Amino acid sequence: EAQVTQNPRYLITVTGKKLTVTCSQNMNHEYMSWYRQDPGLGLRQIYYSMNVEVTDKGDVPEGYKVSRKEKRNFPLILESPSPNQTSLYFCASSQSRTGSSYNSPLHFGNGTRLTVT
């Protein structure tokens, strides 16, 4: 089944403890991206990657890191999490190298709910 898989689904951590949220897609997609979803703010892009070893900042990159060493994986790293990073995180991928198009929609994972205390 074609899908974007995120792990873990739920994560509770403390301020300053480094964590990684994994994302993997099995559709051989070029483009991958991370979003955070907060009430009233919708989906905001954190980072994206158009190809292996190519990553760039989205709208809210502060406090996050990413890497794209393999085409299928795009982990999100929080080196020193803070309470304002408590959010629902989504990984997404698309066959379109630029992010999304009429014939190559964006596919989302089922999310990771992160709580930082």
Task: Please tell me whether residue 67 binds another protein under the rule CB under 8 A.
Answer: no
Stretch that binds another protein, among 11-19, 20-28, 43-51, 72-80 (CB under 8 A): 43-51
Task: Please tell me whether residue 40 binds another protein under the rule CB under 8 A.
Answer: yes
Separation of alpha carbons 109 and 3, rounded Å? 7
Q: Judged by CB, which is closer to another protein: 56, or 79?
A: 56
Minimum Å distance from CB 68 to another protein? 15
Task: Please tell me whether residue 111 binds another protein under the rule CB under 8 A.
Answer: yes
- Choosing from 13, 22, 86, 100, the residue that interacts with another protein (CB under 8 A) is 100
Separation of alpha carbons 106 and 93, rounded Å? 6
Q: Judged by CB, which is closer to another protein: 20, or 96?
A: 96
Task: Please tell me whether residue 34 binds another protein under the rule CB under 8 A.
Answer: no
Show the 3-state SS of the chain: CCCEEEECCEEEECCCCCEEEEEEECCCCCEEEEEEEECCCEEEEEEEEEECCEEEECCCCCCCEECCCCCCECCEEECCCCHHHCEEEEEEEECCCCCCECCECCEECCCEEEEEC
Task: Please report, as ranges, the residues that interact with another protein according to CB under 8 A.
Answer: 4, 31, 40-45, 48, 56, 90, 92, 96-102, 105-106, 108-111
